[in-house]
Structure 1
Amino acid sequence: MKIAKKTAALFDENIHQQYSFGVLNKIDSKSALIALQKGELNNENIWLLKDNEDNEFALIPSQALNTLNQRMRDLQEERFFIRLEREIAQQMPIDMDDVVVIASEYIESFRKKDGSLPLLNARSIARDLKKQHPNLFFNLQDLLDKR
């Protein structure tokens, strides 16, 4: 069985996962026969299958799928905090660390029961923080007036 280059590139990463390779033979519109060519039949392996029409399929155990979903959520949250820090910096904080702590507490108030965050707008949060806590940010107008 020949594996697509994109699929093969996945195996170069060390993600501590076992793979089984096989063929998916369609019996009828609701049935298929899986024949593994490499690996073994268990609930820990990801099965990479190819049917007789050269379509590729991946059967993923639910635990691996849950782990993948959690990693994607974590990455999305990390990207949001990076954007938020950039937006806060554009608001010219006096002490960046203080503002980030307050922003983190504010964002945690939006966390859902399942631990995820809803989609939030980093720019509007940074602007709201400056309005709610003006003492934590430089005010250019005040600085110019003092000159």
Structure 2
Amino acid sequence: MNNHLENISQTLGISKRRRTTFELEDMDNNQMKLSYKGKANLNTPWFGMYGDKPCALVPAELFEAVINALKNAQKENFELKLERSILQNLPIDFGDVWTVAIEEIKKANYKKEPNLDRVIAKIKKEHPNLFLDMRSLVNKE
């Protein structure tokens, strides 16, 4: 088995004894032959080769869990970035600015992640009442 697949398997805690390995071979008429070694455990990933290309077969439930974990991590990362951008601009009410920012982002329908600093700058320009004005505070003294 390929070293890369060996490392992934070990990282996942799948011992050699419990590991299922496979080989895929092309057949006639757009068919493939799957040959495997080990116990046919459909609850863990299988690791194998398709020619010289390392592959993995993953149960759909596990694949879905991985996708959901990645989506959740992406959402948390986005929220942390938005929080940082908002806080850097000294909001009077964080929740109000957050709500306006989320609506602005939804309304703009960005193809990829927006530049959050620009979004908050736009909100600050359009809704200055949502942010502290440090200049006016300094001028009062």
Please give the TM-score of this superposition, normalised by the length of structure 1. 0.68
Instruction: Summarize the Cα distance change of 1:87–1:52 in structure 2 as closer, same or farther, 3 Å threshold.
Output: closer
Instruction: Summarize the Cα distance change of 1:106–1:11 in structure 2 as closer, same or farther, 3 Å threshold.
Output: farther
Give yes or no for the alignment of 1:104 onto 2:102. yes
Q: Superposition pairs for residues 1-147 of structure 1, below 5 Å?
A: 4-11=6-13, 21-24=20-23, 26=25, 33-40=33-40, 46-50=45-49, 55-60=53-58, 64-110=62-108, 118-147=112-141
Contact in 1 for aligned 2:22/2:46 (Cα 8 Å): no
Give the residue type in structure 2 aligned to 1:34.
L
5+ long unaligned stretches in structure 1: 13-18
In percent, how many aligned pairs have the same letter?
Answer: 24
Contact in 1 for aligned 2:20/2:41 (Cα 8 Å): no
Q: How many residues align?
A: 135
Moved over 3 A (4+): 25-28, 30-33, 50-53, 60-71
Q: How big is the alpha-carbon RMSD for the aligned residues of Structure 1 and Structure 2?
A: 3.4
- Which has a greater percent of helix? 2
Please give the TM-score of this superposition, normalised by the length of structure 2. 0.70
